Amino acid sequence: MPHAVRMPKPGQMTEECVLSLWLKDEGDAVARGDVLFEIETDKSTMEVESFHDGVVLRRLVAAGETVPVNAICAWIGAPGETVPEAERMPRPQEDAGAVPSRVEPSRVEPSRVEPIPVEPIPVEPAPGAAGRLAISPRASRLAAEAGLDPRSVAGTGPGGRIVERDVAAALAVRRTGGPAGTPAPAVDSDEDEPRPLSRIRQVIAERLTLSATTIPTFSVTVAADVTRLLTLRDELRERGIALSVTDVVLAATAQTLAELPDVNSRTDGRSVWLRRRVHLGLAVALPTGLVVAVIRDADRLGLLEIHDRAAGLVAAARAGSLPVDDMTGSTFTVSNLGMFGVDAFSAIINPGESGILAVGSAVPTAVAAGEGIAVRAIMKLTLTADHRLIDGELGARFANAVRRRLEDPAAMRRELASS
C-alpha cells in the first residue's frame, strides 16, 4: 500500500512551507530515515525524512513551490504500486504522519476574524491539466481578490503552472492599460515595481500586527551607569574572557525574572499563567528578517554559560541552521540595538510574553558627581510591558532591578571567581 509523504508543520504558527530541494527522484529507492527533500520555513531550513521503506512512486510538488502544511508532497511504496488519484489536501494534524507540531503554552492564538467573501471566478481547465487549471493556491487567491481571470495569465512555473509572480505581473500590466501578455510600458514613477514580502517578513508582519492590536502596552525607561561594567569587560577581554554587554544584560534580566515571577507570565486576557522556568529570548537580526533565539533556563546559568549558549544560538541563526525548537517557547525577550548606535528605543512584545527589554548604547554623559561633574557611560533600558499583567509599579521595580545588577560588577567578579 502506498504511503503519503506530507508537508510537516514545524512550528505552531507555520501554515505553509517552501519545498526548496528534492534529494530523491521518482523511482529512487528509499529507506526509513532517508532525507527526501529540504524545506524552508519562515525562520529556517530543515530536512524531511522518510517514515517508510520503498521507492518514490510519484512526486506531486516541484522544487520551489509553496505548499500548505499536511499537504501530500509525494508517494512512497513498493515498485509498480498504483498511486491514489488524490489531491494534495491537508488533513487534520492528529492524523498526519508528518513531524508533530509543538504546542507552546507561551503562544497566544490570534482572534478569529471573518474574511471578506470574494466571489470566485469560474475557470475552464487548461489543456492537459486533468480537468483543473494549473495554478498555485496563492496565485488563485491573488487573482480572485483582484478580479482577474487567471485563464488570461501565462504561467512560468513548473509545467506551465501559474504562480503568484505571474498574477502579480499581469496585474501590473492591467494597471498600465496594456494588453495581457505584453510588457508594461515605461511609467514615470519614483517607485520601483512592487515585490512580495519574503515569507519571514510576512510572518514578522503578522505577529507584530497581532501584538500591536491585541496587547495594551506601556513603557518605562531607566538609565544605568555601566562605566564600571565596561571597565570590567575590558579587563576580562585582556584575560581572554570574551564577555559582552549583551551577555551581562541577559544574565541580569534572567535573574530579575526569577526574582519577580509575575513578569515571567502570560495571559489570554481572562487567565494568567505563571511560568516556573525562565526561557529568555534574544532578538537576532538577519539579512532576511528577525528571529528570536531562546536560551532555556537562563536563570540557572552562569555568565560564561550564558555567553556560550548565546554565541552558539546567534551563530546558528546567522548560518540558517537554528532548529525550530530554539526559536519557540521564550517567556521574555531582550533586544539590544546598542551596537548600532541607538540611544534608546521601544520594542514590540512577542505575542505570548509579558514584556520585552530594549537596550540602547552606552553613551558618555556628563552627570552630577557630588558637587562636581563627571563623565559616565550611561545606557538606557526600556521595558515595554503588557498592562494586563504588569502595572507601572511592577514595571518600574523590574527595570530598576535590572539596572541595579548592571551597576554591580563586583557581583560579576565574585561569580566569575567561583566558576
Please tell me whether residue 355 adopts helix, strand or coil conformation. strand
Bridge partner list, 49 = 35
Q: What is the distance between the alpha carbons of residues 108 and 376, in angstroms, rounded to a whole number?
A: 42
Q: How far is CA 31 from CA 1, 51, 115, 177, 299, in A?
A: 16, 8, 43, 55, 43
Q: How far is CA 382 from CA 285, 286, 345, 399, in A?
A: 19, 23, 7, 8
- Per 3-state DSSP, the chain is made up of helix, strand and coil in percentages (nearest 5) of 30, 25, 45
Q: What is the distance between the alpha carbons of residues 77 and 58, in angstroms, rounded to a whole number?
A: 9
Bridge partner list, 284 = 291
387 in catalytic set = yes
Q: What is the distance between the alpha carbons of residues 300 and 261, in angstroms, rounded to a whole number?
A: 14
- Half-sphere exposure (CA, 13 Å, Cβ side) for 73? 33
Q: What is the distance between the alpha carbons of residues 197 and 205, in angstroms, rounded to a whole number?
A: 9
Q: How far is CA 409 from CA 236, 257, 383, in A?
A: 12, 19, 22
The residue annotated as part of the active site, out of 3, 279, 307, 387, is 387
Residues tagged active-site = 387
